[in-house]
Structure 1
């Protein structure tokens, strides 16, 4: 039996001495929060992906919430998303008092299916129940078909939020993910297992100045110090106004320093992920697995390498999962369909309406993929899979 000398996680951060030095520099500065490093990080990310505006927050979940609020999502509205995502992609609408519905996934990309979206929109229009917004998730870093989705958004009048938590460093056709070329707002995540990390953190990007200002205010208590936004005359240089009920979702300069340092290695990280993915493609091609599909015109951020057990494999999904973990290969599953969560059960979703999501959930596993994964460790993962799958 293959047994790793140490456990191999499905993902982990890569921290350099330069990252450590950047954080220490902020710790020794005058500003631990609300200082210049956050603004520098925001500008650097916006410039890297070609967006006009970027607003950093303490998590991608917070950024998703702010995006919904900025677009006016509220009670009486419905937001659609994919069921194969982390719960935050759906919860963001519920935070605003809106309801949530799901669109089944594409059987190749595992992203939201454009065909199912089109069918659902046609039916929703007949009943006057069109969505206020659709949250499109780039699962594993592979971009969804944004051109088709944007075309449908213009036809049916809904906003598009890209949940690109997995996808910084990737591109859709000739545009960088995050440019908002096909969406109103794009969200990045900087959690430690993501492509780059700020420890915890998220960012909302948009090309709409009005939305950017709204997100920035809501990110910090609904407060403005901008003279052109104020409703009353200034009382003095200390003056600010709370224009609406906002939140304290700000990113600290400490986190931003780590994120800014990590950003300098973004291409290196993504390139390494692609190299490892190609090694998996070659090493696993003769096993009873469905390997990740990618569109030839797109470039994935490759946050995850998701394999699926083939239908002809006569072994139990859970048994294989547990056998790999016993061997120190800490596979994971991204994700449980959101409608299966106990908190969603009272909303009475019918799993039969999402056959592709159900098929995916019954067969998917995320195997280790991260920049510091060595080729020897990757070989251990492959050997464990061969042993467990027979």
Structure 2
């Protein structure tokens, strides 16, 4: 089976992890701070807080921005459920903005219209979670200029986008335009820490809150202590936080992987370019060409064929194709909250025709040719 995504582990990666295993400090050593600094250097963010998953990073991002019961958070239906669940963890309501069918990203015109209506009815969201789907960066400058007029905070779900660039300055998120940018280091992402994530920001106060919420609500920085008790000489809990910390073992892998990130993205882009060339004559819609994408996913849309039948036929040929994503509002949990099919037609139409093809740095030329040939055979039948 050729998977749709896969990690790439080198001997140097393994050596970096083994060094930590031999060091005696598996957690709270020097590797997590070193990984955070490396992320700051790569992304041009002022602060980075490493955590145990991208979902955890989304959760603490919402908490740091004060999302709570009675608030509303918006995101796009074309994403993994974590982009919406993070608001529900805080007791907030969730709503969605449909995608632009050409870019598959949040539609800025739809967002503008929805904001105007929400303002009229006093239902503006506290936070908008923008998703950089498939590794392609959204137009953050335009989105920020729009939502700032309405006092809406911005979280970037950049789980797909580490390695992508925007305006020639930002790589994997735009903390200059958003309040917080969230990354994921799941094994199929741009780099992996096995499991892990991070929250990036340029705001010192938000960085402090992110770190608090990720570590039980506890600080060891005596300059920030509130209590005058003896116990506070060591640490104190200031908020109700969570144990979302990343271990040094995971961070060591992340440090080594980050050194190869640009090469990973270069290989992904080359594979995507080959798909573009080889598949252009088929009855499918290809993803828009984006020279600055991280190319996390390569998703085609079938123009005439039955998606489910093609999906099963490709699986039968040994291809681990996938579907990204079932619209969030179609899941039973969100249906129970009152959402119904038909509310966000562009996301739904895209989903019904979408198939994600294998794309990862270690995909060989022969295996990619097999994917191309298999797709041609299926669409010819």
Counterpart position of 1:368: 358
Q: Distance in 2 between matches of 1:232 and 1:381?
A: 62
How many Å apart are 1:148 and its aligned residue?
1.3
Counting only pairs closer than 5 Å after superposition, residues 269-348 of structure 1 correspond to structure 2 as 269-295=264-290, 299-310=292-303, 313=304, 315-348=305-338
1:196 equivalent in structure 2: 191
Deviation at residue 363 of structure 1 after TM alignment:
0.3
Give the distance between the partners of 2:232 and 2:204, measured in 1 at CA. 25
Counterpart of 2:70 (choices 59, 72, 76) is 76
Corresponding position of 1:4:
none
Shift of 1:9: 0.3
The residue correspondences of 1:156-235 to structure 2 (distance < 5 A) are 156-176=150-170, 177-233=172-228, 235=230
Distance 1:46 1:91 in 2: 27
Q: CA deviation at 1:17?
A: 0.2
Runs of 4+ aligned structure 1 residues displaced above 6 Å come to none
Alignment of 1:13-32 (within 5 A): 13-32=7-26
Partners of 2:357 and 2:87 in 1: CA distance: 31
1:12 to 6, 9, 12: 6
The answer for the alignment partner of 1:117 in structure 2 is 111
What is the correspondence of 1:237-248 to structure 2 with a 5 Å cutoff?
239-248=234-243
Unaligned runs of 5+ in 1: 1-6
CA distance, structure 2, for counterparts of residue 149 and residue 316 of structure 1: 35
The secondary structure found in structure 2 opposite 1:352 is coil
Q: 1:112·1:136 contact (CA, 8 Å) conserved in 2?
A: yes
When structure 1 is superposed on structure 2, of 236-245 and 204-213 the one drifting more is: 236-245
- Please, which moves more after superposition, 228-237 or 118-127? 228-237
Normalising by structure 2, report the TM-score.
0.98
Is residue 166–residue 174 contact of structure 2 (8 Å, CA) maintained in 1?
Answer: no
Counting matched residue pairs gives 379
CA distance in 2 between counterparts of 1:185 and 1:388 reads 43
CA contact (8 A) 2:222 2:232 kept: no
CA distance in 2 between counterparts of 1:359 and 1:231 reads: 53
* Deviation sequence 1:254-282 (CA, Å, 0-9, x none): 00000110000000000000000000000
Q: Does 1:266 align with 2:256?
A: no
Cα pair 1:336 1:361 within 8 Å, conserved = yes
Q: Structure 1 length as normaliser, TM-score?
A: 0.95
SS in 2 for 1:156: coil
* 1:341 Cα deviation from its structure 2 partner: 0.6
Consecutive unaligned residues of structure 2, counting only runs of 5 or more, are: none
